[in-house]
Amino acid sequence: MSKDTMTLDANIRDRKGSRYAQRLRAEGRIPAVIYGGGSDPISICLDNKETLKGLTKGSRVFEISLEGKTETCMVKDLQFGWLGDDLIHLDLTRVNLDQVVETNVAIHFIGEPPAMNATNAKLDTMLSELRISCKVKDIPDEVVVRLEAMEGETLTAGDIEIPSNTTLLTDPGEKVCLVSIAETEEDDDDTPEEAGSEA
């Protein structure tokens, strides 16, 4: 987690319903609910641009400023529109910085694998996030993978180096990315012809 946790200003959302939520989104605000911490859930709304700015940077923990008080909250769930390209709602849960939680962290790929030097090679990505467990204060914004250090043609979750204060929950054997070599027409022509029958 970044040393400077992003603060989001929130307002109480005293009305509910899809029509009211649509009006909020039209005004550039996102409906949200804060859960946990031994307190009742609170319906709030957040600035759309600022929230997306933090999420795009990989932040999953925010300081939520509400009515003069600030609470540390972690993103619990994100809901997107039916096209999957617009955030329409998010759930937050109250946490403390020393609390151990499970969360997803984005994988940031840098460079190209040595195997990409082969002709007709392409990189297929199977995973874009890793599931980890750690204290809230230790949640990384992302996990950097330098593909130039990749050995062979397959990278698994267990091959990725993660911070020492985190635990990998994703199956270590799960494939993250794979270099594949596409066959060419010339390769197809290399198959030997069947010998003709003797006269």
Q: pLDDT, tens digit, for every residue of 124-142?
A: 999 999 999 999 999 998 9
pTM score over 0.85: no
Question: For the chain, what are the domain ranges?
Answer: 7-95, 102-183
Are the beta carbons of 30 and 92 closer than 8 angstroms?
no
Model confidence at 57: pLDDT above 70: yes
pLDDT level of residue 199 (50, 70, 90 thresholds): very low
Give the Cα separation of 162 and 169 in Å (integer): 11
| Cβ atoms of residues 174 and 156 within 8 Å | yes
Residues 186, 173: Cα–Cα separation, whole Å: 34
Winning range, highest mean pLDDT, from 14-18, 19-23, 150-154, 170-174? 170-174
* CATH annotation of 7-95: 2.40.240.10
CATH H-level superfamily of 102-183: Ribosomal protein L25, C-terminal domain (2.170.120.20)
Q: How many residues does the chain have?
A: 199
Q: What pLDDT score was predicted for residue 38?
A: 84
Q: Residue 138, SS3?
A: helix
